[in-house]
Structure 1
Amino acid sequence: MDLYAVTSSKEYRSIYTAHLMNHLIHYKNRIVKNKQKLEAAKTQGEIPEDLVESLRDQGFVRPIALVLCPFKKDAYDFVQRLKKIIYGDDSKTEVWNSHRFEAEFTGGAKDLTDKVDLPEDHKELLEGNNDDCFRLGIAISKKTLKLFEPFHLSDILLCSPLGLRMILNGDEGRENHLLSSLQMVIIDRADIMLQQNWEHITLIFDSIHSQPTKIDTDISRVRNLYLEGNAPHFSQLLLFSKHQNELFWALMLEKAKSHKGLVMHQPILKGNLSMIDVPCCQELHRFSVPKGSTQSDERLNYFRTLTGILPEGSCLFISSYFDFVRVRNFLKSRNDSFVSCHEYAPENKVLRARDMFFHGRKNALVVTERFHFFNRRILRGVKQLIFYQIPSHPLFYTEFINMWSREAGRKIKIILLFTDSDNLRMQSVFGAQMTKSIFASPRKIQAIVSE
């Protein structure tokens, strides 16, 4: 059964690790028993064809599980939990290449003792080894845990999305066949991967269960479900995230094809508006989108009609970098006075942009969500906020509102553009009940005023 779960606890990692080990042990035991049956039949003469057919138990390649993690520190934690399950409290463990693993997957910790103003979730993000490009093959043999095994000899592939994509469709090769026989795919901390590059995930899933161009295994042992292209219906997809997002739902609804069904965990959210500690007026602008494929165009068209030249102190928050490029070009075309902070801007330009905005030499500051996610800086001089789309990270909505410049002497004005497809994001910020009321209202513009 496929599963999409929203959780802020890390204990789910132990649960899915134990589940993965249980599946792997049963799978290996079946292969060993079937091999013994074939060898016993061989000693008695020719092996019956019906016996050969009944003992098909393998895929095209050896790897049967793929675990995707955003950073090396998450991969390190997974391996530690795997060792705990295999060896328990036994101090005598047999782990191949353990010293190399410790050297490559630990370290990189930053001293955050003086960063008292950073949110706790950002401190957790900065701690540990944040390398997001890695691949690790893991093989399990009796009581031996083998790390850094060649992928074609591995049982589990532990990778970051970027690291795996590089060998599927990159400079380091085209090894799509390695994903042809996966029985379990686990996406751990999908909310972080969303801020890295979700395109890596979509490209990886395009390669999963594809028919390989080369086969190195005994074809008589390959299960018919792989030969007939039915592997997606007999595999399991598990996705874990701290919050909801429409892209997670889209991935699960498109790729989760298990014949045992799909469980979508949708908690009743209370939102985080209570975290706003400044007086504000939130204007919620709803616009219509006839087709999902035209959402980006419709959002830009509505923004064009909504705003004139941006006044001094305006901060424009944009969730998508592609939308940022379009809005930036539009603002340039009408000669708006603005600067921008985005994830590809060098540090010196970011510092200069923030200084010009704070001192009023530029009226507006355009900020992307990924920039704020990886930097989490307080932007001073904000007097008006425009959310081009509600953030995918729910805390960012209240964080930006709380950046309001108290020197403005009045309530901060907030403008939020939203459409029906933003429902899941709205629930994370406004709560399930208030979101339901907002979408039930026939008004195109609604206001929430707080003192």
Structure 2
Amino acid sequence: MDPEDANTPTTRLLTLLNVSALKSRKRPTEDPLPREKLNKRKALAFTAHPLQPEPEPSEFQNGAVSQLGGDPDAAEQEIDGHKGDQNDIAGEPIPPPHDQHFGPNPEILTEHSRTAVDQKQWKSHREKIGKLNAVASLLFDLSLQKTRVKKSTVLERLLNPFEARQAKQLAEHARIQDDLLSVLSAHLDVYHTCVSLEHHQCIREVITLHALDHVTKKRRRVLKNNDRISYAKSTSSDPPEDVQDQGFTRPSVLFLLPLRSSALAWLNALTTHTPSPSFQIENHTRFLGEYGLPPDALDKLATAPPGTYPPDHVEMFKGNVDDNFRLGIKMTRKSVKLFSDFYNCDLILASPLGLRMSIEKQKSSDFLSSIEILVIDQMNALTMQNWEHFVLSHLNKMPKESHDADFSRIKPWYLDGFSSYLRQSILLSPFEMSETRSLYNTSLKNVAGKIRVEKSWPALHVPEGIDHTFLTFDCLSPREEADKRFSYFTTQLLPKVLKSAVQSANTVVFIPSSFDFIRVHNYFRRMSGISFTVLSEYSSNQDIARARQAFFSGKQAFLLISERFHFYRRYKIRGIRNILFYGPPTHPQFFSEFLTYPFLDEGVDPSDVTCRVACCRYDWFKLERMLGSRGVKEVLNE
């Protein structure tokens, strides 16, 4: 063998398979030759019946029963088994939707479906899903009605307490949860672009219910097969072969979150589904100490009088705002074990930065090789962080090491490298951005399909009488957008402002992109005769105080502000009379906020304030949130 070939992923995988087979004295599971089943149990026939409710659990045929819990050797276990569907014409049991998608042989995973996904042959249309306005993208069917399932597919011991809590909350929240759960249970990818502050908590609860249901069903299957194997050994009978129930590693659910306070909110939502008196949350005190605020700390945002800070800012930054964290959670029937090792946990809560540092430290991302459900929350906040920290390229890759995996029990589509075609991704954001739409279009490959929840945006309310103008420039390619915008600003917009004695003073330049901010800052530094100061996310408290005072007093005519600075600090700037938006802000409320800041000073008339916004066709999402879904078409003439 060529020494270079020995290091290829395929060669390493085949070596691991052969070593595992020798250890267990079994042939590798990918044996191409058909073999007759040695066990007397019939293999499940995986046919597509997405509306079929999950069969009720029953005792095993051989009398050996188990209970769901944590590890296969744990004492705390729960009965797992499935009755055959008596209405099935073929006489074979119909698997529940979960097994149809994540079972060892899902019918939707074919060479044709994988090719269709790779070539982006989606068939898209708009569809109403209860209260949700969605754009459905499917491969072979233009109706979601055949893929949506009822929430009764959720395990009864999880569903009943959930429905009891639903009865006590607002009817609107319950409808949103039911509509979303019907799509999640069909294992479609979901891109929710209008998660409001009022609905965020109820959406978290329904997603954690779905994640916990997934982990529970997966562990049930593993424990059931453990009992079947043990029974075969105890009776000296032929061992079962239809036991492919695992991935390369144990973690199957990943939550990507921006801040530790977000992790605290998601864990609280997760534990609402485990309310039994005997239930324990291990290491909970340590978790509260590391992910909450110290007991003697005062949260200025949470304790401030209403109206002091914008509601979205309070919701985002109250509590612990550290963006470097990673937490493994192991689920058992009677406990949630926090701070579990990544290779011994079921769920991972982490920030992109925390995962990236963990991958760099371990020099391996094998713990992400078997993620089956991915949840990314508050994507608007993640885009304000370093987008390069995103670790999606590390998901569902072939592991570098075996990690004591039993390859005879790994699902075939993991061994074939097709797990990314079955991973369910759930993206949540209060609004849509070009980065997140690109992620939705290019990185989601679920052959079951995907939907995008959208809304019709109303126009923002701004103070009347202000002269605000949207100035468009031509741009034919997104690759040219940055250069075209800079050229328009420096040759068209800024020179006209400098010619006016009124508009060349008390002027704020708001710059959404950090890269553009550095470029414009350098341009101002090279120009002579312009006094300016800056506020960026890297400004210290002393720098901020000096810049605000210099601008308010008129010592500095221009103030350059980055959107990241305003996102994290949210200062009210006084002394503004003229506003130049280098580009529309990503967060629409920032536009209306800056138009109200001039009136912090006494005696300011709306006619004294001017506003100019430079924009192009690639600012559609941003302009839609500012001008409304109808107004954006008029500005861009489309």
Q: Do both proteins adopt the same fold according to a TM-score greater than 0.5, normalized to the shorter chain?
A: yes
Aligned residue among 566, 574, 593 for 1:399: 593
Whether the 8 Å contact between 1:278 and 1:401 is mirrored in structure 2 is no
Structure with greater strand percent: 1
CA distance in 2 between counterparts of 1:249 and 1:393 reads 16
Residue 435, structure 1, aligned to residue 622, structure 2: no
Q: What letter matches 2:327 in structure 1?
A: L
Q: Which residue does the alignment assign to 1:133?
A: 324
Q: Which has the larger radius of gyration?
A: 2
CA distance in 1 between counterparts of 2:486 and 2:365 reads 38
Q: Secondary structure at the match of 1:404?
A: helix
Residue 175, structure 1, aligned to residue 356, structure 2: no
Q: Secondary structure at the match of 1:264?
A: strand
Q: Secondary structure at the match of 1:366?
A: strand
Q: Which residue does the alignment assign to 2:4?
A: none
Q: Which residue does the alignment assign to 2:394?
A: 207
Which residues of 2 match residues 105-120 of structure 1 at below 5 A?
105-107=291-293, 109-112=298-301, 113=303, 116-120=307-311
Q: Which residue does the alignment assign to 1:103?
A: 289
Question: Offset of 1:46 from its aligned partner?
Answer: 7.8
Q: Which residue does the alignment assign to 1:416?
A: 613
Q: Which residue does the alignment assign to 1:449?
A: none
Q: Secondary structure at the match of 1:434?
A: helix
Residue 367, structure 1, aligned to residue 561, structure 2: yes
Q: Secondary structure at the match of 2:454?
A: coil
Q: Which residue does the alignment assign to 1:378?
A: 572
The more displaced of 302-311 and 348-357 is 302-311
Which residues of 2 match residues 30-109 of structure 1 at below 5 A?
30-43=221-234, 47=238, 51-52=240-241, 54-87=242-275, 90-107=276-293, 109=298
Q: Given the two structures, how large is their TM-score scaled by the length of structure 1? A: 0.91
Q: Which residue does the alignment assign to 2:191?
A: 4
CA distance in 1 between counterparts of 2:314 and 2:252 reads 35
Identity of aligned residues (%): 29
Question: Offset of 1:294 from its aligned partner?
Answer: 2.0
Task: Decide whether aligned partners of structure 1 residues 289 and 167 sit closer, same or farther in structure 2, where only a CA change above 3 A counts.
Answer: same
Whether the 8 Å contact between 1:38 and 1:47 is mirrored in structure 2 is no
CA offset digits 1:143-176 (Å, max 9, x no partner):
221111111100000112221121123xx33231
CA distance in 2 between counterparts of 1:117 and 1:279 reads 26
Question: Offset of 1:21 from its aligned partner?
Answer: 0.9
Question: Offset of 1:278 from its aligned partner?
Answer: 5.0
Residue 227, structure 1, aligned to residue 415, structure 2: yes
CA distance in 2 between counterparts of 1:289 and 1:114 reads 45
Aligned residue among 513, 518, 534 for 1:320: 513
The more displaced of 183-192 and 122-131 is 122-131
Task: Decide whether aligned partners of structure 1 residues 238 and 334 sit closer, same or farther in structure 2, where only a CA change above 3 A counts.
Answer: same
Q: Secondary structure at the match of 2:358?
A: helix
Q: What letter matches 1:136 in structure 2?
A: L
Question: Offset of 1:43 from its aligned partner?
Answer: 4.8
Q: Secondary structure at the match of 2:362?
A: coil
CA distance in 1 between counterparts of 2:418 and 2:350 reads 25
Question: Offset of 1:285 from its aligned partner?
Answer: 1.4
Which residues of 2 match residues 184-333 of structure 1 at below 5 A?
184-201=373-390, 204-216=391-403, 217-272=405-460, 274=461, 276-306=462-492, 307-308=494-495, 310=498, 311-333=504-526
Q: Given the two structures, how large is their TM-score scaled by the length of structure 2? A: 0.65
CA distance in 2 between counterparts of 1:196 and 1:278 reads 34
CA distance in 1 between counterparts of 2:465 and 2:224 reads 70
Whether the 8 Å contact between 1:135 and 1:158 is mirrored in structure 2 is yes
Whether the 8 Å contact between 1:278 and 1:404 is mirrored in structure 2 is no
Question: Offset of 1:40 from its aligned partner?
Answer: 3.5
The more displaced of 311-320 and 158-167 is 158-167
CA offset digits 1:211-233 (Å, max 9, x no partner):
21111111111112112111111
The more displaced of 36-45 and 415-424 is 36-45
Alignment RMSD: 1.9
Whether the 8 Å contact between 2:190 and 2:451 is mirrored in structure 1 is yes
CA distance in 1 between counterparts of 2:224 and 2:317 reads 47
CA distance in 2 between counterparts of 1:366 and 1:413 reads 16
Q: Secondary structure at the match of 1:402?
A: helix
CA distance in 2 between counterparts of 1:402 and 1:427 reads 20
Question: Offset of 1:76 from its aligned partner?
Answer: 1.5
| Number of equivalences | 430
Q: Which has the higher contact order (CA 8 A, sep 6+)?
A: 1
Q: Which residue does the alignment assign to 2:581?
A: 387
Q: What letter matches 1:279 in structure 2?
A: G
Q: What letter matches 2:623 in structure 1?
A: M
Task: Decide whether aligned partners of structure 1 residues 349 and 355 sit closer, same or farther in structure 2, where only a CA change above 3 A counts.
Answer: same
CA distance in 2 between counterparts of 1:215 and 1:286 reads 56
Residue 338, structure 1, aligned to residue 526, structure 2: no
Q: Secondary structure at the match of 1:149?
A: coil
Q: What letter matches 1:296 in structure 2?
A: A
Q: What letter matches 1:32 in structure 2?
A: L
Q: Secondary structure at the match of 2:534?
A: strand
Q: What letter matches 1:317 in structure 2?
A: F
CA distance in 1 between counterparts of 2:572 and 2:420 reads 46
Q: What letter matches 2:367 in structure 1?
A: L
The more displaced of 100-109 and 404-413 is 404-413
Q: Which residue does the alignment assign to 2:548?
A: 354
CA distance in 2 between counterparts of 1:93 and 1:35 reads 25
Question: Offset of 1:254 from its aligned partner?
Answer: 1.2
Give ranges in structure 1 of 5+ residues lacking alignment.
442-451
Q: Secondary structure at the match of 1:214?
A: coil
CA distance in 2 between counterparts of 1:166 and 1:180 reads 17
CA distance in 2 between counterparts of 1:156 and 1:365 reads 45
CA distance in 1 between counterparts of 2:300 and 2:538 reads 25
Whether the 8 Å contact between 1:18 and 1:85 is mirrored in structure 2 is yes
Question: Offset of 1:139 from its aligned partner?
Answer: 0.5
Q: What letter matches 1:3 in structure 2?
A: V
Question: Offset of 1:358 from its aligned partner?
Answer: 1.2
CA distance in 2 between counterparts of 1:299 and 1:354 reads 27
The more displaced of 227-236 and 123-132 is 123-132
Question: Offset of 1:47 from its aligned partner?
Answer: 4.9
Q: What letter matches 1:243 in structure 2?
A: F
Q: Secondary structure at the match of 1:86?
A: coil
Q: Secondary structure at the match of 1:62?
A: coil
Q: What letter matches 1:325 in structure 2?
A: I
Q: Which residue does the alignment assign to 1:447?
A: none
Q: Secondary structure at the match of 2:300?
A: coil
CA distance in 1 between counterparts of 2:322 and 2:627 reads 34
The more displaced of 349-358 and 404-413 is 404-413
CA distance in 2 between counterparts of 1:212 and 1:429 reads 46
Give ranges in structure 2 of 5+ residues lacking alignment.
1-187, 499-503
Whether the 8 Å contact between 2:278 and 2:334 is mirrored in structure 1 is no
Whether the 8 Å contact between 2:364 and 2:400 is mirrored in structure 1 is no
Question: Offset of 1:197 from its aligned partner?
Answer: 2.4
Whether the 8 Å contact between 1:109 and 1:128 is mirrored in structure 2 is no
